[in-house]
Homo-oligomer: A and B are copies of this chain.
């Protein structure tokens, strides 16, 4: 049997990278499979900090499964085909481990699919290690902890579950780091937006959702100062417009998330102003508006958009 590739979504964030490395290790140890964790894009600055910290090499970036001679793939931290590898429809999805909604996903054959509404995909992988009785190596625990911290903004996002709170200290102990201290340092490593061009900024953590026939791009950046990002609004809007034109997005929603105070400013460009305003019950002024308490794209933005776009 040819090798199985394991990967998270395009524009990988820390949880996408961490969960793919951790799941690949589990498949190797438990099922003796020939697997390789790869990535569908370069790692971001936060993830680079994490990999450096725990001495793990960044997974190789691949563009196509077929080009790698691969027939089977395993997905972590995503399931929607438009967020996956370019030729996902030409290969067999052998397994999925995820914590998102399910959409635009289908297979011809039965598969292993494990989704739970937990704070991170790494949390679901933690459960698998436990169930199979496989020990979590220290550096993989560090990655999984980082995935959890990244996705939940250090356990503060409303997506955080009791289970996430329970395992974070355990993973920190195995990884040999102080949860709070390490967590803050890691999140801050991802907020260095000044060094990024506007094109890069809007693509750091961006996903496309098909909402009632519209291709809606929802991007998120973390910061400790929302105003600092808004100061670049003109430049960012120009980048968004050219990305929309190039990719045919009907709408582009950028969440500028304040990781210290746990709020977001929403910047929107596109056809469906009414729907976006009705989704969040706010009025956009100069294309943006404040969304109090919002830090989770998955729980506080995408379901609201989905509903508004269905009207």
Residues of chain A at the chain B interface (Cβ within 8 Å)? 99-117, 131, 298-299, 302-303, 306-307
Contact = CB atoms under 8 A, between A and B. Distances in A.
A106 B113 contact: no
B113 A115 contact: yes
Given A101-B107, A109-B117, 10 more contacts: A101-B106, A102-B105, A105-B105, A108-B303, A108-B307, A110-B116, A110-B117, A111-B115, A112-B115, A114-B114
Nearest to A94: B117
A114 B117 contact: no
B110 A113 contact: no
A112 B102 contact: no
Nearest to A114: B114
B112 A101 contact: no
A307 to B, nearest CB: 7
Nearest to A118: B110
A35 to B, nearest CB: 17
* Copies per assembly: 2
Nearest to A115: B113
A214 to B, nearest CB: 15
A110 B151 CA distance: 14
Contacts of A106: 101-105
B113 A109 contact: no
A302 B112 CA distance: 18
27 contacts: A99-B110, A100-B110, A101-B106, A101-B107, A101-B108, A101-B110, A102-B102, A102-B106, A102-B107, A102-B111, A102-B113, A103-B106, A103-B107, A104-B106, A105-B106, A108-B303, A108-B307, A109-B117, A110-B115, A110-B117, A110-B298, A110-B299, A111-B115, A112-B117, A113-B113, A113-B114, A113-B115
Nearest to A298: B110
A104 B302 CA distance: 20
A106 B102 CA distance: 5
Most buried by B among A107, A110, A117, A298: A110
Nearest to A100: B110
A296 to B, nearest CB: 10
A303 B109 contact: yes
Contacts of A302: 108
Contact of A101 (B104, B111, B115, B298): B111
Contacts of A306: 108
Nearest to A304: B108
A88 to B, nearest CB: 13
Contacts of A110: 99-101, 115-117, 298-299
A218 B99 CA distance: 33
A117 B112 CA distance: 6
